[in-house]
Amino acid sequence: MQSHLKNILKQQQQADLYRTRKIHQKTFLNFSSNDYLGLANHPSLKTTWQQAADKYGIGSGGSHLITGHTQAHHELETTLAAYTQRERALLFSTGYMANLGVITSLVGRHDAIFLDKLNHASLIDAALLSRAKIHRYAHNNISNLEKLLEKSSAKHKLIITDGVFSMDGDIALLADIAQIANKYQAWLMVDDAHGLGILGNNGRGSLEMYNLDAENVPILMGTLGKAFGTFGAFIAGSELLIETLIQSARSYIYTTALPPALAATIKTSIEIAKQEPWRRQHLHELIKYFRTNAAKLKIPLTDSITPIQAIIIGDSKSAIAASEALYEHRIIVTAIRPPTVPQGTARLRITLSALHDKKQIDELLAALVNVI
Ligand SMILES: *Cc1c(COP(=O)(O)O)cnc(C)c1O
């Protein structure tokens, strides 16, 4: 086995695809975090966490269906349902697990799933696990999606798209997709991991931006480790959908419930996101500022109005070199390489946060000019 593993790792290295984990000891300017609203270090979250730990202890002690479900989890689910304007919400330990759970519960062998080519890895894995027939349509290409739907004779059809695409920052054409879903009697699921808390007048995500409701998009997935700065994920939908998941989502049933103190903390985080809209507003101002000035400096960005701003470099080696050069300037911008992104599109993925200021953006831009 050892020599087999050695070979695998050597190949990764030779292809410039070797992944390492960094522990950053010094102070850096971080442009790679998904803590878009800057809530991860919020003092009220820390206080809630401490007080709830005193009340509930640390571990939940079991799965939700045995003894792990507490008042804190229940209140969080109520908050999430209200936030997303749906009948109910169901808390999962991670977004990866939420996607596995909902997709395998909804479709099986005689059904078909339609996935955008750039969908998140967890959606692809969930689709594979479901055993449904998988169709992947070209990125945001509605006519391609329609052709595939037209040809399908599957019993149930499920269309799944990211709301905001995680490596490019662009937004799904949700109004068109919802229309097509309706036309072909397909169910529509949106993974809004990067839209929730950020997009829409009230931060309710990509669906609010497009004015789509639970009728148009019956299955909504959101994560709590990104804009909400904490951890975990949820599915929001109808009473029937949530009850079905409680009965059948294996990644919900066969796993330990989140620590209750964490559930209480997440609830505080959602309340703060609502009470402090300046975070979202400031973030959008920074995005505009960054884009305007990048254009002046001829820094090529992908088309994105979200905090995810990518610079396509091409080959993995150059992307790593650019990232390392930025690191020398004490700026963290991660290089994203295949298979996370398609071959030949290795990139710098910059993420902006409400905790940045314009001076820091200037610093980033100045450094970028020198390294790309
Ligand atoms: C991060 C992410 C997930 C996974 O969420 P976790 O809670 O980190 O497991 C799922 N989908 C998308 C689009 C994501 O960006």
Q: What is the pLDDT of residue 104?
A: 98
DSSP 21-87: -----S--EE-S---TTS-TT-HHHHHHHHHHHHHH-S---SBIIIII--HHHHHHHHHHHHHHTSS
Q: Which tokens in the block code for residue 365?
A: 């831009």
226, 267, 282, 356: the active-site residue: 226
Distance 356 CA to ligand 1 centre (A): 23
- Which of 23, 34, 21, 14 is closest to 316 using CA atoms? 14
Q: What is the pLDDT of residues 15-70, one digit of tens each?
A: 999 999 989 888 999 999 999 999 999 999 999 999 999 999 999 999 999 999 99
Q: What is the pLDDT of residues 195-230, one digit of tens each?
A: 999 999 999 999 999 999 999 999 999 999 999 999
69, 135, 157, 194: the active-site residue: 194
The residue whose CA has the least distance to atom 8 of ligand 1 is: 95
Q: What is the pLDDT of residue 25?
A: 82
Q: What is the pLDDT of residue 24?
A: 86
Q: What is the pLDDT of residues 62-104, one digit of tens each?
A: 999 999 999 999 999 999 999 999 999 999 999 999 999 999 9
Question: What Rg, from alpha-carbon coordinates, does the chain have?
Answer: 21
Say yes or no to pLDDT of 176 above 90.
yes
Question: Is 152 one of the annotated active-site residues of the chain?
Answer: no
Residue type, 58: I
Q: What is the pLDDT of residue 44?
A: 98
Q: What is the pLDDT of residues 309-329, one digit of tens each?
A: 999 999 999 999 999 999 999
Give the atom of ligand 1 at the shortest distance from the alpha carbon of 232. Answer: 7
Distance 38 CA to ligand 1 centre (A): 18
Dist CA 191 CA 165 (whole Å): 9
Other CB atoms within a 10 A radius of the CB of residue 3 amount to 7
Dist CA 120 CA 111 (whole Å): 21
Q: Over the range 43-80, which residues count as b (16 or more CB within 10 Å of their CB) and which as e?
A: eebeebbeebbeebeeebeeebeeebbbebbeebbebb
DSSP H/E element including 189: strand 187-191
Residue from 166, 171, 262, 349 whose mutation best tests the ligand 1 pocket (most atoms within 8 A of CB): 166
Q: Is the CB of 35 under 6 A from ligand 1?
A: no
Dist CA 136 CA 278 (whole Å): 38
Give the atom of ligand 1 at the shortest distance from the alpha carbon of 233. Answer: 7
- Which of 190, 245, 244, 196 is closest to 216 using CA atoms? 190
**Cβ atoms of 338 and 17 closer than 8 Å:** yes
Say yes or no to pLDDT of 189 above 90.
yes
Mean pLDDT on 322-339:
96
Measure Cα distances from 106 to 98, 99, 111, 119, 156 in Å.
12, 11, 9, 18, 9
Q: What is the pLDDT of residue 238?
A: 98
CATH ID of 43-275, from 3.40.50.150, 3.40.640.10, 3.10.310.70, 3.40.50.2300: 3.40.640.10
CATH ID of 19-36+277-371, from 3.30.470.20, 3.40.1550.20, 3.30.1360.120, 3.90.1150.10: 3.90.1150.10
Question: Is 194 one of the annotated active-site residues of the chain?
Answer: yes
Question: Is 166 one of the annotated active-site residues of the chain?
Answer: yes
Distance 151 CA to ligand 1 centre (A): 31
Dihedral of the alpha carbons of 132, 135, 141, 145, in degrees to the nearest 10? -70
The residue whose CA has the least distance to atom 4 of ligand 1 is: 95
The residue whose CA has the least distance to atom 5 of ligand 1 is: 95
Indicate the pLDDT class of residue 106, thresholds 50, 70 and 90.
Answer: very high
Residue type, 213: D
Mean pLDDT on 231-258:
98
Indicate the pLDDT class of residue 299, thresholds 50, 70 and 90.
Answer: very high
Q: Is the CB of 337 under 6 A from ligand 1?
A: no
- Write down the H helix ranges in the chain: 2-14, 43-56, 71-84, 95-106, 121-130, 142-151, 174-183, 206-210, 239-248, 250-253, 260-275, 278-296, 316-328, 358-371
Domains in the chain: boundaries: 19-36+277-371, 43-275
